[in-house]
Amino acid sequence: MTIECKNCKGTGSIIISEKECPECRGSGKQKSISLDQLSEKDLGKLMSGDMKCARCGGSGKISVTEPCKSCAGRGKLLTCAVCGNEFTGKGELCESCARKPLVHMLSAECDTHELEVGKTYEGKVQGHANFGVFVDLNPQLRGLIHASNINFSPEIGDKLFVEVKNIAPNGNIELIPKSLKEYQLIAVEKQLPRRKTTELSKFLGKLVHLSGEVIQIKQTGGPTIFTISDEDGTVQCAAFEKAGERAYPEITSETIVKIIGEPSLRNGSIQVEIRSMKQLWGGDATGIKEQIEKAIDKRAEPHEIQFLVKSEVLEKLKPRMLNAAKLIRKAVFKSRPIIIRHHADADGITSAVAIERALLPIIRQVGGSDSDRYFYRRSPSKAPFYELEDVTKDLTFALEDQERFAQKMPLVVLMDNGATEEDMPSIKQAKIYGVDVLVIDHHHPDGTIDSMVLEHVNPAYAGGNFGITTGMIGTEIARMINPDITEEIKHLPAVSAVGDRSEAPEAALYRSIVEEKYKLEALKEMALALDYEAFWQRFSDGRGIINDILNLGSNIRHQQIVKLLCDQANAAIAEQMEASLPNVKTQKLQNGAVMNVIDVENFAHKFTFPPPGKTSGEIHDRMCAKYDGQPVVTIGYGPDFAVLRSRGVKMNIPQIVKELHSEIRGAGVSGGGHLVVGSIKFVEGMRKEVLAKLAEKIGSVGTQ
């Protein structure tokens, strides 16, 4: 191995002094000039007096040099193949190592092409016969010491030094024993050009060299399966020690390795049978890592798209959306698990499903047909923020996968939640374990979490508000990730807009682009079916049923399941309204707003659909119809919570929560949401004081 000489910086010579240039005698200008040989450019320099001396370059001086003693004038230093020390001689070994006999150790992938007659090798006794002793030079090569060449009987498993006497045309290897007291061991590896994962299909049944990063390790009842990632993709590599026993236990996840193995087809996919594998260190590992990172960064670039609708807010938000798309694509290409955490309502579900539909084909393309089982999960959250219960589950599963499969810690994408101070405890816990968080939300942000997350995509940062739903943003980001899924998901923003009662101009535009296929009533039915199904799914993603509700599978099944769920949901809502509406208390506030209050703990069915938030929303809709044209606020409260819905009242619920927290000591007020829609928590014993103060604050704000 050669490296540049530091003493002469690779020039092979050292400057010892300077002297006057004999050509120009120190002037730095050309003395003798042949005009007929000058170019037009040189002639111009001559006329302007800027013609420099060719020998000294215009400096008037030349350097006096002598050969560099450190590298003997070569400009490069050699490093000994055995000890690694620098030396200036010839060959591969320094003088010290060259004096000792060399013993070669063949790596597992070597064959007779790496054997040389006359060289000494380390071997292991494999067996005895009447005519001699069999010696394994590696798992592939076995030679024979003829009985006439050995005068002792070694034990099976003993290490022997042997010289290759002859290699027969049929591959038989004749050995003779060597007795050495001093020697130098030198490793011999098969020299093969590095192949990329995408090239392996061309080399089935042949030995190849593959270098990359270990991203997953699975122990089966037979071999150990290592998933290796390089610049182009991933491939599974199998190593067998004993049935169910971990091969290469020193190799861990995220290490850079060199593999020599044989590609073959297994269940329709390429798998490399490992002959040898070793971890790369230093410059070798850094070089491979840098190549992989550079290639992945390029592949992760999101697609430039035109938004489905015209929106000034979305255009301003586009840089953040592109960055989010790149971060998600990069996680896929780095085979990093992705968890999508979303609010369990129509807006949260549509936003997450849009990203899911974009991701799954890419994940399967990169990691294989079943890779989405290991590298992707979608999990609904009951609360509109990242609860400690949710992060605990995510961390538990991630740590188990890391232990069992040596996987990386995941990227968590929070959708329709994650934007406020309520999310901080969970995000902080995630960061401790190396989990990165990305937020895509439309709840009013308070800036608390921004320094803790990779990106925060929120319409508030582009002059918008909650009218730009997460379903709209998520669908456009999904198209940046994978534009091929545009047609199947372009109705999802309209479903989210209807489900979240968006009155933004974009809501009407998204509805208009799908109105030929989905009338407003059909969109409302899908949104209601999603809310109803999400209530019963609890913490399951319900992928199959959710896909049918959103018409991402069978159209016949879509129509049947939406009708059934809506019938059941409407019946449950009607029953709830029948019980609750007579118990609504209404009063007019000082600002002219009509405030409706309902105790959902005592005057609504519990543990069934609709839950308190949905019940309050349904009551609010009916009160808005009753008091048409007037500002309306509806509060559904329980022992320790209150749900707020409003129309025409200029509230800022996050700000009200902060004020209540500081003004009512001992109430433990927390919560948030959108500016005019949200929820508040407090201790049960202070309910009366909190609700009274809340009503007072609502009555003091402006109305529209």
Q: Which residue has the tokens 């009753």?
A: 626
pLDDT at 661: 94
442 contacts 458 by C-beta, under 8 angstroms: yes
| Gap between the Cα atoms of 442 and 473, Å rounded | 9
127 contacts 160 by C-beta, under 8 angstroms: no
pLDDT at 3: 62
| Gap between the Cα atoms of 607 and 256, Å rounded | 52
Which numeric CATH code is attached to 312-512+531-539? 3.90.1640.30
338 contacts 359 by C-beta, under 8 angstroms: yes
384 contacts 673 by C-beta, under 8 angstroms: yes
Query: Among 332, 345, 325, 347, which Cα is nearest to 614's?
Result: 345
Residues 148-168, buried b or exposed e (16+ Cβ, 10 A)?
ebbeeebeeeeebbbbbbeee
Token couple for 494: 């309209």
593 contacts 649 by C-beta, under 8 angstroms: yes
Token couple for 182: 């001093």
Where along the chain do the CATH 2.40.50.140 domains lie? 100-188, 197-299
| Gap between the Cα atoms of 352 and 489, Å rounded | 11
pLDDT at 88: 61
| Gap between the Cα atoms of 518 and 515, Å rounded | 5
**Burial degree of 446 (CB within 10 A; 0-12, 13-18, 19+):** middle
Token couple for 216: 């997953």
174: phi then psi, degrees, rounded to nearest 5 = -100, 130
Residue 605, SS3?
Answer: coil
Q: Degrees (nearest 5) of the Cα angle 666, 422, 311?
A: 135
pLDDT at 273: 95
Strand partners, 186: 104
Where along the chain do the CATH 3.90.1640.30 domains lie? 312-512+531-539
DSSP 8-state secondary structure symbol assigned to residue 703: B
Distance of CA 428 to the CA centre of its chain: 19
Look at strands 141-146 and 132-138 and give their pairing. Answer: antiparallel
Look at strands 159-167 and 141-146 and give their pairing. Answer: unpaired
| Gap between the Cα atoms of 620 and 184, Å rounded | 86
pLDDT at 134: 96
| Gap between the Cα atoms of 306 and 495, Å rounded | 20
Token couple for 83: 């000890």
155 contacts 135 by C-beta, under 8 angstroms: no
319 cis-preceded (ω within 30 degrees of 0): no
Query: If phi over 0 gives left and psi between -120 and 50 gives alpha, with beta otherwise, what is residue 463?
Result: left
pLDDT at 124: 95
pLDDT at 44: 55
Strand partners, 278: 258
**Burial degree of 688 (CB within 10 A; 0-12, 13-18, 19+):** exposed
pLDDT tens, position by position, 584-633:
999 999 999 999 999 999 999 999 999 999 999 999 999 999 999 999 99
First-to-last C-alpha distance (Å) of the chain: 79
499: phi then psi, degrees, rounded to nearest 5 = -65, -35
User: Which run of H or of E encompasses 496?
Assistant: helix 492-499
pLDDT at 91: 62
Residues 262-289, buried b or exposed e (16+ Cβ, 10 A)?
bbeeeeeebbbebbbbeebeeeebeebb
pLDDT tens, position by position, 360-395:
999 998 887 888 888 999 999 988 889 999 999 999
Token couple for 6: 């530091």
User: What's the fold here for domain 584-700?
Assistant: Diaminopimelate Epimerase; Chain A, domain 1 (3.10.310)
Domain 100-188 bears CATH identifier 3.30.2230.10: no
Neighbours of 621 (CB within 10 A): 16
Residues of the chain with pLDDT under 70: 1-4, 31-50, 72, 74, 77, 80-93, 95-98
pLDDT at 81: 64
Which of the listed CATH numbers 2.40.110.10, 3.40.630.40, 3.40.50.2020, 2.40.50.140 matches domain 197-299? Answer: 2.40.50.140
pLDDT at 107: 87
